[in-house]
Amino acid sequence: MKEYINAYTGKKTILADGTIRVDFYNGDTIEDQMICPDDNLANAAIIPWVVQEGYTLMDKTSVTDPVDPTDDLYTRDFIKIS
């Protein structure tokens, strides 16, 4: 997996009912939020946000820019740590 160094990240928060709230960040600003039923869908939401830099580079896809959520680079480059 390649590095993704940009201002876009996601933050996952497990809620009381077991769902996951995903906050989509541009720098330190939350641009959007969504609730996902599980971690796999939370990752599936965060990946295009980061790869496509806030959905502005729609030509980037899972074919052109594959991402592995089990890779250490995923946690470093995609997940916002508070």
**Residue pLDDT tens, the chain, 82 long:** 899 999 999 999 999 999 999 999 999 999 999 999 999 999 999 999 999 999 999 999 999 999 999 999 999 999 998 7
Position of tokens 């496509």? Answer: 52
pLDDT at residue number 82 = 76
Percent helix, strand and coil across the chain, each to the nearest 5: 25, 30, 50
Q: Which 3 state secondary structure label does DSSP give 42?
A: helix
